[in-house]
Amino acid sequence: MSVHMRKMTEGSEIKHILMFAVPLLIGNLFQQVYNITDSIVVGQYLGDFKLAAVGATGSITFLFYTICNGLSIGAGVLISQCFGADRNDDVKKYIANSAYCIGTIGAAVSIVSCALAPLLLSLMGTPENLLADASDYMRIAAGGTIAVAAYNWINSVMRSLGDSRTPLFFLVVASLLNVVLDLLFVMVFNFGVGGAAWATVIAQGTSAMLSIAYAFWKNPFFIFSKRHIKPNKGILARCIKTGVPIALQYGMVSISMIFLQTVANGFGEEVMAAYTATMRVEQLIQQPFVSLNSALSAFTGQNAGAGLPERISKGYRKSIKACVIFSAAIAVIFLLLNKQIVGCFVSKPNVIQTGGNALMLSCLFYPFLGILQATRGLLNGAGDVGYAFINGLAEVVGRIGFGLILTAITVIGSWAVWGTTCLTWLLTAIMGVIRYKSGKWRTKCFISHEEQEVLQ
């Protein structure tokens, strides 16, 4: 077994989860350098309205990315369950066939999303004076979905094998490359917002290629024979069956964010700029929760494959405690330094005031965001992908429902944008905990002796 792979079916549950999550967290923080660098360079060098144009593309671009990301996570669930069950030959078959599936869909999404960028931004109500810049940024960012698909696939595969360290090194290199390219394309070559998009796509693609090349060089599960790389209809169908509900989950989350971006657009350019700034900050702060989600998914997948549900429950309960402690610490920082933090992204006093107040509200709901991410990681890792769809639907209902209700109350005003997100976190966290308590996830593991024919 490679030195970086981790079998998590024995030993301290929380130690495995945290040791696995720390490299993920470092990697996710570096990955956020992509977005933060774009925002700082665009906001400070090109102006607040250019930043608003970039922000207007975030939710719709995320929708295209999540299609491939969901399929990658679904493939990772199957691989981790095979790995936990010591079915190493099947691990290789799932790696090869998931690459065929995700590569094909990633290429198709790149073409479609690039072609539809201006139309979709218009339908979202993007202000006319921002539409040209937003379209330029989105064509490039969405057109690079194939690079994002490749990156998410290799990351998901390595994580399912208990390896959260290998992709980290290449991600750090790519993050530093993104910073250099951002400064070069925007400030030296004057490529505008398109330069910031190109910097991100090139950096993401570089990280993907280096990670895949290293996996073939060092990881024993990437040593294939003909029987491993032969397309298998049963495995391809299983990858789609597992990945599509997760893709729909994240896709519906993205759709709900698109609706919320539309709500923010309706309050004008200053609120759009404040919303973009706070979204960048919250994307950074969410990374410990997202890392825990991925760690719990891998931990759960391996232990589900090994038939150890009680071990999964112990790891989950300890993870929730860690989420609450982290949330309390962040809340103190945000309550004291909210305006200084927002001021790193924008310069207008009114925008800073609005964004600072929004961060004070959001930080009070971070415990529910942590519970949501931890529970989602467990349920996905267990193979409870049917509930993944329900959870995503709840995000849509929450953001649209709360958004319509709060915007209809005149006195609330632009607070509706951030209040909607907070209440949606609360709703989906409660639903996830109810599902966990029901115990139905214990019966959802796909890897069983009865399903061997799928792999023949």
Q: What is the pLDDT of residue 427?
A: 93
Q: What is the mean pLDDT of the chain?
A: 85
pLDDT reading at 453 higher than 50: no
Q: How many CA atoms lie within 13 A of 125 on its CB side?
A: 13
Instruction: Work out the pLDDT band at 435, boundaries 50, 70, 90.
Output: very high
Instruction: Write out pLDDT tens, residues 373-402.
Output: 999 999 988 988 888 778 878 888 888 899
Instruction: Write out pLDDT tens, residues 290-314.
Output: 889 989 988 999 999 888 999 999 9
pLDDT reading at 448 higher than 70: no
Instruction: Work out the pLDDT band at 37, boundaries 50, 70, 90.
Output: low
Tokens encoding 108: 């198709």
Q: What is the pLDDT of residue 61?
A: 80
Give the pLDDT mean for 94-119. Answer: 89
**DSSP states of 285-348 as a string?**
HTHHHHHHHHHHHHHHHHHHHTT-HHHHHHHHHHHHHHHHHHHHHHHHHHHHHHHHHHTTT---
Instruction: Write out pLDDT tens, residues 220-236.
Output: 999 999 889 898 888 88
- Phi, psi values for residue 425, rounded to 5°: -55, -45
pLDDT reading at 454 higher than 60: no
138 and 65 Cβ atoms separated by less than 8 Å: no
Amino acid at the residue 330: I
Cα(136)–Cα(188) distance, rounded to whole angstroms? 19
pTM check: above 0.75: yes
Instruction: Write out pLDDT tens, residues 349-360.
Output: 888 888 888 888
Cα(422)–Cα(368) distance, rounded to whole angstroms? 9
Instruction: Write out pLDDT tens, residues 230-272.
Output: 988 888 888 888 888 888 887 787 778 778 878 888 888 788 8
- More confident position, 277 or 382: 382
Cα(109)–Cα(132) distance, rounded to whole angstroms? 22
- Alpha-carbon 197 to chain mean position: 18
